[in-house]
């Protein structure tokens, strides 16, 4: 009986955490070790709807450009697809860490104006 109650409280905690991180780019860790990064779109009592990104190489007309763009690089796009993930499979979730950018240099008023030097 204790295990069932403990399991329900864990799922409730994950449900609350998912609702707090809705519309953020998050990393979802499953209990089998798999990690998925995506945007949480909606949260249901038993599952989470996540937009999962996938990289796609887009090839234009191969006869005209030979499938490559300038400098020989194919065109890459990122496409998002919706997936349902059961709350029972979730182990943890966290925000996707983005690189930290330093704040802009603060603006200071002009330096004081001193009278010109007299030689």
Instruction: Convert the pLDDT of each residue in 62-118 to its tens digit.
Output: 545 555 555 656 677 888 999 999 999 988 888 877 665 656 666 666 666 666 666
Where in the chain are the domains? Answer: 2-95
pLDDT score recorded for residue 63? 46
Tell me how far apart the alpha carbons of residues 23 and 117 are, in angstroms, rounded to a whole number: 61
- Which CATH fold topology does 2-95 show? SH3 type barrels. (2.30.30)
Q: Where do we find the tokens 């609702």?
A: 19
Confidence check: pLDDT of 53 > 80: yes
pLDDT score recorded for residue 95? 82
Cα–Cα distances in angstroms (integers) from residue 81 to residues 37, 41, 49, in the given order: 12, 11, 10
**How high is the mean pLDDT of the chain?**
78
Rounded to 5°, the CA angle 108-112-115 comes to 160
Beta strand residue intervals within the chain, DSSP E: 25-30, 35-43, 47-58, 75-86, 90-95
38, 47 in Cβ contact below 8 A? no
Confidence check: pLDDT of 2 > 90: no
Q: Is the pTM for the entire model greater than 0.85?
A: no
pLDDT score recorded for residue 28? 92
Confidence check: pLDDT of 9 > 60: yes
84, 48 in Cβ contact below 8 A? yes
Q: Euclidean distance between the first and final Cα of the chain, in Å?
A: 94
């Amino acid at each position: 009986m204790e295990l069932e109650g403990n399991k329900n409280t864990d799922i409730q905690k994950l449900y609350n955490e998912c609702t707090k991180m809705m519309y953020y780019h998050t990393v979802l860790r499953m209990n089998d070790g798999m990690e998925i990064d995506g945007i949480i779109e909606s949260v249901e009592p038993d599952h989470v709807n996540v937009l999962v990104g996938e990289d796609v190489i887009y090839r234009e007309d191969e006869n005209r450009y030979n499938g490559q763009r300038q400098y020989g690089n194919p065109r890459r796009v990122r496409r998002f697809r919706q997936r349902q993930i059961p709350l029972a499979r979730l182990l943890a979730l966290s925000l996707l860490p983005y690189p930290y950018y330093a704040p802009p240099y603060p603006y200071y008023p002009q330096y004081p104006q001193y009278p010109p030097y007299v030689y």
